[in-house]
């Protein structure tokens, strides 16, 4: 039962269908802030169902003597969280974030324990490819319609918008202002980040020789890869372009035997691609100095506000999930409709909300994860290389955006990747 619920969760991971609630603490200066709204997503219900189905096994694992050795980590973390809660501006927001963290820890724990036992990485990737397929189709339709599609897509969490919607994400291409597709994500940048993370997984299965036994899967994965790359391009997320291109190129180069031939093919593909869409890419990059300049200024000011919070609350921060309610004390936003947002850097966000102690704990977890990958000889090197690439993508994207820390799809995706990284079995 738990395996079925988990696979269902992976299939609908990009969905943002949910019910928002609006208590007083979700308002800042009278404005409703999505990031602060307690929300029950469809994917939350699936994770809760997974937790209930897996509870007997979870209790069995925790009761074993060898897990008690991890108390040296759990006890200091619990003490830190308790002290941090005392300094939180809004305790309600703090405990909502803490509940979300516990949900993500359970999901990562489940993947790490069952991946290679009852869970197949290949099936996980196949289900992720299905999500890439339908998200890409929806993104295409939105781009060509220059508006949301509606209908049954509402049940996956598509929001209603058009190119004329105030604050909607757009890009200037060849002098024309175009709507950037959202699919079922909160922003095109999240769509681009999702594609940049999932596409290397799909390529990994395509390159792996075992896929030749199932040509139908191979053709579908190839089609999905093409659609996903186009969707990544249409997101017009510059960081996702860089990360996605670098990760897929690195993966293809290191996992193929004939390096010289592979390098020649990659160069040819890049040349054809640049000749085809180079003008559009150049046009998008030029907007950094024109229409996007004000957006970059706002982002810089939000990051500066987070630094001020860190200086004022260096040890425990302003409290988990408390960044936005503390923001008016550090920066008077000029465009609150669009930029009443978290800092676009997960490291600054963690340090501002959990203090430097919280950031150190997070960085130690990253280091321990990398150490586990290096020392875990049960996982083949080619699989370790894939996981390492995914972690590097997440860490790099986290320098320029916040969705791995603040948004449902990004949080679930990072829990999945870290769960895979901590798994001990070698079976693909």
pLDDT for position 337: 46
pLDDT for position 267: 64
Q: Which two tokens stand for residue 311?
A: 């200086």
Contact 231, 180 (CB under 8 A): no
Mean pLDDT calculated for residue range 286-304: 73
- Please choose, from the candidates 281, 252, 277, 275, the residue with its C-alpha nearest in 3D space to the C-alpha of residue 264: 252
Q: Across-strand partners of 162?
A: 147
Q: Is the pLDDT of residue 38 over 60?
A: yes
Of the chain, the percentage scoring pLDDT greater than 70 comes to 81
pLDDT for position 336: 47
Contact 316, 91 (CB under 8 A): no
Mean pLDDT calculated for residue range 61-74: 59
pLDDT tens-digit map of 309-339: 999 999 999 999 999 999 988 877 555 445 5
pLDDT tens-digit map of 170-205: 887 777 788 999 999 999 999 999 999 999 999 888
pLDDT for position 69: 56
What pLDDT band is residue 86 in, cutting at 50, 70 and 90? Answer: confident
Mean pLDDT calculated for residue range 157-174: 86
Interatomic CA distance for residues 336 and 114, integer angstroms: 44
Interatomic CA distance for residues 391 and 278, integer angstroms: 29
Please give the torsion angle defined by the CA atoms of residues 249, 250, 251 and 257, in that order, rounded to the nearest 10 degrees.
100
Q: Across-strand partners of 172?
A: 177
Q: Which contiguous run of DSSP H or E holds residue 39? A: strand 39-41
Q: Among 121-130, 280-289, 377-386, which is the least confidently predicted range?
A: 280-289
């Amino acid at each position: 039962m738990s395996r079925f619920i988990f696979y269902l969760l992976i299939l609908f991971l990009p969905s943002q269908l949910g019910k928002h609630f609006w208590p007083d603490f979700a308002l800042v200066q009278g404005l409703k802030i999505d990031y602060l709204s307690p929300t029950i997503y469809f994917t939350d219900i699936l994770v809760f169902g997974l937790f209930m189905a897996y509870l007997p096994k979870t209790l069995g694992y925790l009761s074993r003597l060898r897990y008690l050795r991890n108390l040296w980590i759990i006890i200091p973390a619990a003490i830190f969280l308790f002290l941090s809660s005392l300094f939180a501006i809004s305790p309600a927001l703090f405990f909502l974030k803490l509940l979300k963290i516990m949900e993500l820890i359970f999901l990562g724990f489940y993947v790490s324990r069952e991946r290679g036992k009852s869970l197949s990485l290949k099936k996980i990737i196949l289900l992720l490819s299905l999500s890439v397929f339908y998200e890409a189709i929806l993104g295409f339709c939105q781009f060509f319609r220059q508006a949301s599609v509606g209908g049954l897509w509402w049940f996956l969490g598509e929001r209603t918008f058009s190119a004329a919607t105030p604050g909607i994400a757009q890009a200037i291409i060849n002098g024309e202002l175009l709507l950037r597709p959202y699919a079922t994500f909160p922003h095109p940048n999240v769509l681009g980040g999702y594609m940049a993370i999932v596409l290397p997984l799909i390529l990994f299965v395509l390159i792996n020789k075992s896929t030749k036994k199932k040509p139908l899967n191979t053709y579908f994965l190839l089609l999905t890869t093409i659609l996903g790359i186009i969707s990544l391009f249409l997101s017009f997320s510059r960081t996702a372009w860089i990360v996605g291109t670098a990760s897929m190129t690195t993966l293809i180069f290191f996992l193929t035997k004939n390096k010289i031939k592979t390098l020649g093919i990659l160069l040819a593909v890049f040349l054809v691609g640049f000749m085809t869409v180079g003008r559009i890419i150049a046009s998008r990059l030029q907007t950094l100095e024109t229409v996007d300049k004000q957006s970059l200024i706002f982002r810089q000011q939000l990051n500066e506000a987070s630094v001020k919070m860190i200086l004022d609350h260096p040890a425990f921060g302003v409290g988990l999930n408390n960044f936005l309610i503390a923001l008016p004390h550090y920066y008077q936003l000029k465009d609150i409709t669009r930029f009443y947002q978290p800092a676009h850097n997960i490291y600054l966000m963690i340090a501002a909300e959990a203090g430097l102690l919280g950031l150190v704990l997070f960085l130690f977890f990253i280091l321990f994860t990398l150490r586990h990958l290096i020392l875990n000889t049960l996982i083949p090197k080619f699989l370790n290389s894939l996981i390492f690439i995914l972690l590097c993508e997440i860490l790099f994207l986290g320098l320029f955006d916040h969705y791995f820390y603040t948004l449902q799809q990004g949080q679930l995706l990072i829990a999945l990747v870290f769960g895979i990284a901590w798994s001990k079995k070698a079976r693909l």
